[in-house]
Structure 1
């Protein structure tokens, strides 16, 4: 690979790019890859069938270079409905399920015929705000009239919205403990996490004072858009947020929709305030900062996930400096500065880092991952001694 200029982060950035042999991929169509006709690899399983939206069928690759999987055949089913997914586990139709509904965790943990696995993840759930446009479509005065300016462009307003939110209550009552309060884009443990940034305390009085200082003593009205089938209890979280924001004068209506409806509209910047999530697949805060909060610039590969149009020249400069610095400690220090600046300006409103939950029958065991992926290879058969009472 030859780059136009030095780029020390290249190995990290290309770690998520899958390599396909030119001899196989040059003439292959999407259908060839989807059916497995053009599938290649050296992994523990081979794809034998994919029914779009229904299931994947795998067979063990006995020539695998590593430890052979315990199971010769694996069927991965896609069951978006929570109740149906739970029923599959309870009837042993499925050996393991992901995305366990939070309200089922306690009863599952109490059963000896089930195992529950929880893992703090890199997925941040946050409010993304339209802080770019002079007028934004879903923010109005309480009487529905157009405001003179978009209040979300004022960092005092963004901080007020953050202070209105009781993160601990969201996690305890809506997620049943399946989250960690967040103040920045990356969780503790990721490269670039800034220990100097703490999650803000719930402070409605200060929130109202900031709104008044910004020129909105009576608040205003917003619509919060959210998914209802993507993240843990996402629609319920949105409803809880609406109550909290309304208590400080920001009357909030909620419009929740399936992810496949939400995402195109979000990408086209149709919303003013949205509940969404992002997780750095490289284990690096820099990638998340660049993608979610960097000023959108396709030529620089920046802002690909910045659906609010947030722009901060000082933040962009820190991101660029961190990318171009070869000395690892110095690069991480710059990333931490960028994380602190993003938090200080409240470019997005971090809520919590989601905890992922899986449940299985007692006959198998599973190694959970922070990226929330459910890999067949990570499921092992429990030997009789392991399953003894």
Structure 2
């Protein structure tokens, strides 16, 4: 029996393990599972895009060292145990007798190769370096031990490693890798994203193998019968991107698919009333918010002011926009109760939030007053960009917000588009203000604070999705201190302090927290996840 020490994200402990008796289980009756996806992954490359659909898919093919349970507690992955040797040094003991899908053996060199490869990924819309930049040194004293050193104490390291899928060094013919935080040197070429999309490089250790990736049509996964853990119930999983929510529900009701993500809130009562189907749901780490371009003194794209200046540079304007929004009305009337009105960038039940903050207030009169004080008594004009197929009722929420802005004198139109188009245009900084969402992959507050609010810093990997270019030195320095604080209570307090200040400055404007639903045939079981992942291996016959 292997020693087992449970690790929870809010209180790290020294080691984790797994009962040897759970490493295998009899297969269920062979069958196919058909899933309707609400958003299409942008690549099969596990390191290309820090985007929930991508990570959810990747985790089924490429496994991390440490894995997350639905409630964000941690369990063993390719590391069967780990411990903190000192505040800046971690030791990971790797699982033995694990094979990649191509039959090659997993060992420490695969881990070093993976972490060396992450910073080399080209054209990443949101890079994984957010979760690897803290690593100063990495070495393998033997084939099944990895030592990771950070410059400063970094208590969240194991949590963050749960986002990094391990790939095979067979992609570089087994070349031995020496890690360097300045950039690793290898004689081979780093595998490109296109090689993962074609399947050539899609070699992991997970419960499923690559079958097919056809953008706009389907993703096919094949069961890995040589998997080291519990075998999935399904011979084959066919994932179809059905981004129109009505079409997705129709596909379930007609039997075209067995399981769907995010049914429309309007259709949930009908699904619940049909004995052939059922709904599972959970409060997620997903926050939907607005980002304002604060990068220039000139009015950003889609914003028209009388003086030609950027209104979002003024905190009074940002606060006025927030006060114009009736979050409770959005939750009740548009989200059908499948959301919670926001106070900050994560719901209060998660680690590092400020539990004293109230729901952000609606005050139209005060909003108009703040606009006048900022020099915009007659308001201005702008276009609010939004995806229309990424989040629950996203374009409807944007339309409602636009109407609320118009009531305070800011004439607002909406530009809604598919998520793929949105991401491409956002990367080119074509939006002055836009609606988007963030799912905290670590299950705690530092994730959105570092990704969305911290000043862009490529060395640290911070601000990876801070397209508004918000910056505040106090936030950065306090967040720095929090990320080096090992004591959980002190770290929690520091992050809460940063969260409070980010709301005082209205760095971004939170709208609501999604309560994520899944709908499925009544013959299936699935435990709803706070991280919003759809993991086919966890869908089981009833």
Shared fold per TM-score greater than 0.5: yes
Corresponding residue number in structure 2 for 1:338: 498
Shift of residue 68, structure 1, vs aligned partner: 3.2
Corresponding residue number in structure 2 for 1:97: 260
Unaligned runs of 5+ in 2: 1-135, 138-148, 174-187
1:300 counterpart SS class: coil
Deviations 1:305-334 (A, max 9, x none): 001110111001111111122333222221
Corresponding residue number in structure 1 for 2:468: 308
Map of 1:1-389 to 2, 5 A cutoff? 2=137, 5-8=151-154, 9-25=156-172, 30-137=193-300, 138-141=302-305, 145-147=306-308, 149-382=309-542
Q: Which moved more, 1:10-19 or 1:274-283?
A: 10-19
Describe the shift of the 1:187–1:73 C-alpha distance in structure 2 as closer, same or farther (beyond 3 A).
same
What CA RMSD, in Å, does the superposition of the two structures yield over aligned residues?
2.1
Q: Which structure has the higher relative contact order (CA within 8 Å, separation 6+)? A: 1
Deviations 1:175-222 (A, max 9, x none): 111211112112222221110222122211221122222232222222
Bigger proportion of residues as helix: 1
Corresponding residue number in structure 2 for 1:385: none
Q: Which moved more, 1:276-285 or 1:307-316?
A: 276-285
Shift of residue 152, structure 1, vs aligned partner: 1.2
Structure 1 CA distance, aligned partners of 2:217 and 2:172?
25
2:266 counterpart SS class: helix
2:362 counterpart SS class: coil
Describe the shift of the 1:266–1:45 C-alpha distance in structure 2 as closer, same or farther (beyond 3 A).
closer
Describe the shift of the 1:73–1:255 C-alpha distance in structure 2 as closer, same or farther (beyond 3 A).
closer
Contact 1:126 1:275 in 2 (8 A): yes
Corresponding residue number in structure 1 for 2:116: none
1:371 counterpart SS class: coil
Shift of residue 224, structure 1, vs aligned partner: 1.0
Shift of residue 259, structure 1, vs aligned partner: 1.8
Q: Which moved more, 1:259-268 or 1:347-356?
A: 259-268
Shift of residue 7, structure 1, vs aligned partner: 4.1
TM, length-normalised to structure 2: 0.66
2:349 counterpart SS class: coil
Unaligned runs of 5+ in 1: 383-389
Q: Which moved more, 1:160-169 or 1:17-26?
A: 17-26
Shift of residue 35, structure 1, vs aligned partner: 4.2
Describe the shift of the 1:25–1:14 C-alpha distance in structure 2 as closer, same or farther (beyond 3 A).
farther
